A and B are shown apart, each in its own frame.
Chain A
Amino acid sequence: MANLFDTIKQTINRSWDDRICIGVTGLSQSGKSTFITSFINQIQKHDAKNARLREFVAATNHRIHAVKLLPLEDRALPLFDYTRAINGLSGDTPRWPDSTSDISGVLIQIELKDGRKTKKVYVEVRDYPGEWLVDLPMREQSFAQWSEFIQRQLSEEPRRSFASNPLAALSAVNPFDEYNDLAAKKLKYAYCEFLRDCKAHSPSLSLLQPGRFLQPGAYNGHQMLDFYPLLSCVGFDEKALKRAPDNSVYKVLEKRYSQYKSELIETFFDDFISPVEKQVVLVDVLNVLNGGKHYVDDMINALDMIGASFRYKSRFFSSNIKEVMYIGTKADHVLKEEHDHIRDLLSDIVSRSIENIKDHKVAFTSEAIAAIRCSQEVADVDRPINVLKAHGDDGSVIKYEPPQIPDHIPSSTREWLAFDGWRWPKLTPPKGVRVARDQAIQHIHMDYVIQKLIGDLCK
């Protein structure tokens, strides 16, 4: 009843107010929480002395009168913890905001000067783990089809080389055997461990299904998640599988898989994604370059599947998304002359995804940004080039020469070799962010993104 009341209230507010709903997602470690923290901070501190919002017209025209953060009307949706994130950044040892592990949201109320009057506009930001988005294609797949897809994944590089690859153990299960809960849990655990390894690997893989095995959110430990891909289905006729006894491994896992699809995937998209009008997809293209061709291909497939969600339709709902903004993050890890190359590379990576949904009247843009800028470009001591200075993982000052970034997906071995044998240094947030001193966080091109997302609303 409370949910219904929230939904009605939200629907009325949406039609009544000047309001926009922005969905923020991205692949693992792409910086979703950091992006939202900076997004809120830039708008809130639009008049700070160190604010840099030249592209955001409402700020340069001094039209913003006041900014307030409110919870969303939907009580089931936790409030994005901006205070915690900003406090972490402004401490003596600054730390990055906690990564997104569940859905959350925030309503930004912006009071604009409108002649002698003021008017209020609302920006609704919805944050959700990108892992959940890659589950979407599972809707169209039967359990047997999905198992076959995972079987192919596990047999090919780069997953084949992972020590924890459970291909052999999962292939040994006979689908017609009687279901044993303990054995099933062991196999599910082994599969989860493998997924976690794939995610923890540097660079991490992107297309990891089911997403809730990595980010269960509120469903941690739920029986609905107790299934695993039954690789031995491959080779069996689906009709034969359907004739399996009700207590067989196949029937039990198939039932849970169907439940996962209907109760988690469908419900999540119908409830959470349906109001989204502008979608931000964050991508860490730099990190994946290190992994080589297989990792880039994996990311392309994942983004392709995420793209599919923008043309998503169900019985009750069709996607409301009108604009998708692909954002290449961590632009501060390279020299300024490479920013356009990050953007072009990202455009190349998402080109297939865009091609697939071109007819769905969705507009696309791409940009390279650093939501929180944590490096400085300085002249090298010995050579006539610029290098980057930043705080490394342990907080000490480091200096490095970043490589060139290609403006397209590398095609030759020579091009890939440039990213072999080294890793991007982990940088810590800049020191000197002080909430009490009314400061804005330094960034790269966040003003452009803000203008693109809410410029029309703040006209």
Chain B
Amino acid sequence: MQIDANDGRTLRSFQMLEVSEEEKKEFVQPDSIESVSSTQDTLDLSTFNSELISKKAKYALGSLAIVLAILFLVDLVLSIYELWQIHWLIGGSLLVGVTALSFFTLSAVREWLTGKNGVELVYELQEKARVIRERDKASFETAELFEALRAYYTGTPHESAFEEVVDGFPDYLNDKRRIEQFEAHFLEPLDRRVEAIIRRHSYQTGLSVAASPLPFLDVLLTVWRSAIMINEIAKTYGVKPTLANRVRVLVKVGRTAALAGLSQGAIDKLIDLNQIPFAGRALASTLQGLGAGVATARIGIYCASTTRPICSEDDKCFGSKLTDSIGILLGKKIIKAKEDDGLSA
């Protein structure tokens, strides 16, 4: 097989081919094709496994704790030594047993710490999709990306919707179009849910802060609502809600937000508003509420960017400007449909 040096396509020239007897059988167009619906209203996230620690890790940790307790009781080291003195085989066996058990326990803890469907995996998926999008020429190599996505969504409430969308891709779609259709039919309904989550929590936070009489309570309220919102957004996009993943998402969002100067900006804004000499208490509280609402929306957008498995733009999933946060509170979509002009392709 020759490869054209210009664009990587397989070099071909026109030729009629022999048709075998078996191939002479007429083909007809299919009677049915799995149709797809872009609505995911039936997606039930309440069934999403919410256990904080995996069963494996739980049992392993429990076993280790029991063994350690027993060993501590019988003074493990001493015992082994004493047994070794009696006969090396007895002491050695105990040593091997304890070592093996420790090894299994550590690997289970490690697995729990690294976690599945975490933000690192989301980042890998985003990177894979970005590389495909940046290709100049049409390619048909999304199999790896969609396999990774399949593994990501297996065992989640999204699984059946994912399979329905991916299995129904027409065979002629190239990678870019596949990703576009995946976004349109699978991710966009999730985006709408995420928008609603961000709006709801931002309004609630804004109202709570505006009504709260104590400044330190404002921060607590914002942090509390934001933590719940982050968890809901992550779950919506398919990040498994384990304790480890929650911590990771929080850290990642916090880091991104801090880098953007959001936290300081928001705090400064609240402090400044308190210090406006002529503003009445009611007006100041209202403005504080508005500030807190916008800040929560901004955290929500960062969280959505971090947890959406495919970004619709090159580097970032959603706009990070202050106007984007205000826009979402006013009912704007966080992702607008992309217009692809063939002539510019």
Contact = CB atoms under 8 A, between A and B. Distances in A.
Interface string B1-34: 1001001011111111111100111111111110
Given A60-B185, A380-B17, A49 B32 contact: yes
Contacts of A441: 29
Interface stretch (A99-107, A197-205, A226-234, A399-407): A399-407
Nearest to A290: B14
Most buried by B among A336, A341, A377: A336
A445 B9 CA distance: 22
A442 B171 contact: no
Contact of A425 (B16, B343, B345): B16
Given A60-B36, A337-B174, A365-B342, A400 B15 contact: yes
A432 B38 contact: no
A50 B17 contact: no
A55 B33 CA distance: 15
Interface in B25-69: 25-33, 35-39
Interface stretch (A75-83, A162-170, A384-392): A384-392
B278 interface: no
Given A52-B33, A339-B174, A404 B23 contact: no
Interface string A221-258: 00000000000000000000000000000000000000
A431 B28 CA distance: 5
Interface string B303-345: 0000000000000000000000000000000000000011101
Given A340-B138, A439-B31, A444 B172 contact: yes
A354 interface: yes
Nearest to B337: A57
Nearest to A343: B342
Contacts of A376: 27
Contacts of A384: 1
B181 interface: yes
Residue of B20, B29, B31, B345 with highest tally of chain A CB at under 10 A: B29
Contact of B168 (A54, A373, A397): A54
A347 interface: yes
A61 B31 contact: no
A396 interface: yes
B181 A398 contact: no
A383 interface: yes
A343 B177 CA distance: 14
B18 to A, nearest CB: 7
B281 interface: no
A391 B12 CA distance: 21
A381 to B, nearest CB: 7
A273 B259 CA distance: 57
B97 interface: no
Contacts of B16: 398-400, 425
B14 A422 contact: yes
B336 to A, nearest CB: 14
A9 to B, nearest CB: 35
A347 B171 contact: no
B19 A398 contact: yes
Nearest to B7: A407
B343 A337 contact: no
A265 B39 CA distance: 49
A338 to B, nearest CB: 8
Contact of A354 (B7, B14, B343): B343
A54 B12 contact: no
A124 interface: no
Contacts of A418: 13
Interface of A: 47, 49-52, 54-55, 57, 60-62, 326, 331, 336-337, 339-341, 343-344, 347, 350-351, 354, 363-367, 373, 376-378, 380-381, 383-385, 387, 389, 391, 396-404, 407, 418, 422, 425, 430-433, 437, 439, 441-442, 444-445
A-B pairs, 8 with minimum CB distance: A432-B28, A49-B32, A340-B138, A366-B342, A336-B172, A399-B17, A403-B14, A60-B38
30 contacts: A49-B31, A50-B29, A50-B30, A60-B36, A336-B172, A337-B140, A343-B342, A343-B345, A347-B342, A364-B341, A365-B343, A376-B27, A377-B172, A380-B17, A381-B20, A385-B1, A387-B17, A389-B27, A391-B26, A397-B23, A398-B19, A401-B17, A403-B13, A403-B14, A404-B9, A404-B11, A431-B26, A431-B27, A432-B28, A439-B29
Interface of B: 1, 4, 7, 9-20, 23-33, 35-39, 137-138, 140, 168, 170-174, 181, 184-185, 341-343, 345
